[in-house]
Amino acid sequence: MKKLLENKTDITSALLRLMLALIIFPHGAQKMLGWFGGYGFSGTMSYFTGTLSLPYSVAFLVVLIEFTSPFLLVIGGFTRQTAAAIFALFTGIILTSHLSNGFFMNWFGNQPGEGYEYHLLILTISLALMLLGSGKYAIPKPFGKFYPVKS
């Protein structure tokens, strides 16, 4: 019974990392590669800098974070930093694009845009990973001795 009630932070971290990577990857691939119906890098950058009036550097960071973070999350590299970047990104997404549409996603097409309920899940997963770190089910070796994994 005691074994059943133990905290399993390493497996929890691994599951959260993999799920967040799975969720973020298609969005990054849309923006960088044009996969999944996306516009690719140049189309996304044009939209961000033109339509949304984001500075080029901010638009580039958005694409970079969404495209590279899933790979880092899968291997467990720089998990806390990656989660913090995703947290900052999705906070910005909520504040600039979704807050005015209310809480709920636009399930029935009755709103002018999507709400932020989905984004709160991403923020919560990111926050949990900032607290937990990568856990022992990570592949930290490519990052050398300066990136120890504690479990």
Torsion 151-137-118-130 (CA) sign: positive
In a domain, 1, yes or no: no
Identify the residue whose tokens are 């969404």.
66
Q: Higher-confidence residue: 143 or 64?
A: 64
φ/ψ of 76, rounded to 5, equals 80, 20
**H or E stretch including 46?**
helix 40-46
Listed in sequence order, the residues at least 6 apart from 105 whose beta carbon sits closer than 8 Å to its beta carbon are 114, 115, 117, 118
In a domain, 148, yes or no: no
Q: Higher-confidence residue: 32 or 102?
A: 32
In a domain, 2, yes or no: no
In a domain, 17, yes or no: yes
Q: Which residue from 92, 111, 88, 90 is spatially nearest to 101, judged by alpha carbons?
A: 111
Is it the case that residue 146 has pLDDT exceeding 50?
A: no
Residues 133/150, Cβ–Cβ less than 8 Å:
yes
Number of domains in the chain: 1
In a domain, 97, yes or no: yes
In a domain, 145, yes or no: no
Q: What is the pLDDT of residues 69-95, one digit of tens each?
A: 999 999 998 999 999 999 999 999 999
Q: Higher-confidence residue: 36 or 139?
A: 36
In a domain, 65, yes or no: yes
Q: Higher-confidence residue: 70 or 101?
A: 70
pLDDT at 1: 66
In a domain, 142, yes or no: no
Is it the case that residue 103 has pLDDT exceeding 90?
A: no
Enclosing domain of residue 120 = 9-137
Residues 17/134, Cβ–Cβ less than 8 Å:
yes
Rounded-to-integer distance, Cα 41 and Cα 53, Å: 16
